[in-house]
């Protein structure tokens, strides 16, 4: 895994990992992931104990919006990349005592076969995750916990109490435009998911204490 750069985003623990391709006149080869390389970077310590026990692949049409999803018992961190197409990856901080609790960010991940690199986003435990697709797109993600339907929930990206102040204004305007003109494609489950305040008032909220998760290298 030819790691070129590790970038911190505005929400603590979220990392963008840029990794290189080996190109020649035939095409390219790359290692998207190698655990031993991750262990060489202290910035990735929340991935040191990453046990990839489930991988997911998702195809979505242009204008689809998914999420924001998360679970506990077991916790699930996610390592996400775009295989082809283009998407905005959204992540909302849902961690008690986090300095960015309630804030959301979007980051664009676009696959380009002519590029010399690709990117992962690492979302540690304590973030609600969703996507907005700018074209027909396939993504994959590695999960640190198996899907547990009895212990998963979501916060609607339409929730009025989400704080968008850290998010690129162009991304928020794109989402708002899709909602306004009716082009957005969302499941009823995601549209009608709980709001942020309801989550903060739930008993499960205490299971996502930022200081506790950080002390356990989970974020």
Confidence of residue 51 (pLDDT cuts 50, 70, 90): confident
Candidate list 48, 69, 75, 133, residue with the active-site label: 69
Closest CA relative to residue 163, chosen from 93, 88, 72, 74: 93
**Predicted local distance difference test score (pLDDT) of residue 161:** 96
The reported pTM is 0.92
For 119, other C-beta atoms within 10 Å of its C-beta total 21
Query: Which CATH number do you get for residue 30?
Result: 2.60.120.10
Establish whether 28 is a catalytic residue. no
Q: What is the pLDDT of residues 98-151, one digit of tens each?
A: 999 999 999 999 999 889 999 999 999 999 999 999 999 999 999 999 999 999
Domain hosting 138: range is 3-208
Count of structural domains within the chain:
1
Burial 21-40 (b: 16+ CB within 10 A, else e): beeeeeeeeeeebeeeebee
CB 190 within 8 A of CB 65: yes
For 162, list phi and psi in degrees, rounded to 5.
Answer: -75, 140
**Predicted local distance difference test score (pLDDT) of residue 175:** 96
**Predicted local distance difference test score (pLDDT) of residue 211:** 96
**Predicted local distance difference test score (pLDDT) of residue 204:** 94
Question: Tokens 């197409």, residue?
Answer: 85
104: in domain:
yes
128: in domain:
yes
Query: Which 3 state secondary structure label does DSSP give 63?
Result: coil
218: in domain:
no
63: in domain:
yes
Confidence check: pLDDT of 65 > 90: yes
CB 7 within 8 A of CB 109: no
**Predicted local distance difference test score (pLDDT) of residue 48:** 85
16: in domain:
yes
**Predicted local distance difference test score (pLDDT) of residue 7:** 96
Is 62 buried (19+), middle (13-18) or exposed (0-12) by CB count in 10 A? middle
Could you tell me what percent of the chain has a pLDDT over 90?
89
**Predicted local distance difference test score (pLDDT) of residue 101:** 98
Confidence of residue 47 (pLDDT cuts 50, 70, 90): confident
Q: What is the pLDDT of residues 81-100, one digit of tens each?
A: 999 999 999 999 999 999 99
Confidence check: pLDDT of 77 > 90: yes
94: in domain:
yes
- Distance, CA of 194 to CA of 186 (rounded, Å): 15
Nearest-5° Cα angle at 135, 115 to 132: 100
For 172, other C-beta atoms within 10 Å of its C-beta total 14
Establish whether 141 is a catalytic residue. yes
Token pair listed for 108: 């664009």
Candidate list 75, 107, 133, 141, residue with the active-site label: 141
Could you tell me what percent of the chain has a pLDDT over 70?
100
The mean per-residue pLDDT over the stretch 6-35 comes to 93
- The two counts, helices (H) then strands (E), for the chain are 5, 13
The mean per-residue pLDDT over the stretch 78-83 comes to 96
CB 16 within 8 A of CB 121: yes
168: in domain:
yes
Could you write out the DSSP letters of every residue in 44-105?
GGGGTT----EEEEEEE-TTBEEEEEEETTTT--EEEEEEESEEEEEEEE--BT-TTTTBEE
Nearest-5° Cα angle at 166, 182 to 98: 115
213: in domain:
no
The mean per-residue pLDDT over the stretch 8-24 comes to 95
CB 49 within 8 A of CB 34: no
């Amino acid at each position: 895994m030819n790691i070129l750069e590790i970038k911190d985003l505005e929400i603590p623990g979220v990392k963008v990992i840029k990794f290189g391709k080996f190109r020649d006149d035939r095409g390219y080869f790359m290692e998207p992931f190698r655990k031993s390389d991750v262990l060489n970077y202290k910035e990735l310590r929340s991935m040191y104990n990453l046990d990839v026990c489930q991988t997911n692949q998702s195809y979505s049409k242009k204008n689809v919006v998914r999420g924001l999803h998360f679970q506990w018992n077991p916790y699930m961190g996610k390592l996400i990349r775009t295989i082809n197409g283009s998407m905005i990856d959204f992540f909302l901080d849902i961690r008690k005592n986090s300095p960015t609790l309630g804030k959301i960010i979007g980051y664009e991940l676009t696959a380009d076969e002519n590029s010399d690199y690709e990117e992962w986003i690492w979302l540690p435990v304590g973030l609600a995750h969703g996507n907005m697709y700018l074209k027909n797109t396939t993504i994959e993600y590695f999960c640190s916990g198996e899907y547990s339907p009895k212990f998963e929930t979501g916060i609607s990206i339409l929730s009025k109490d989400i704080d968008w102040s850290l998010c690129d204004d162009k991304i928020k305007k794109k989402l708002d435009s899709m909602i306004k003109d009716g082009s957005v494609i969302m499941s009823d489950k995601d549209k009608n998911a709980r709001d942020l305040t309801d989550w903060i008032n739930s008993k499960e909220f205490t299971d996502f204490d930022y200081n506790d998760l950080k002390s356990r290298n989970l974020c």
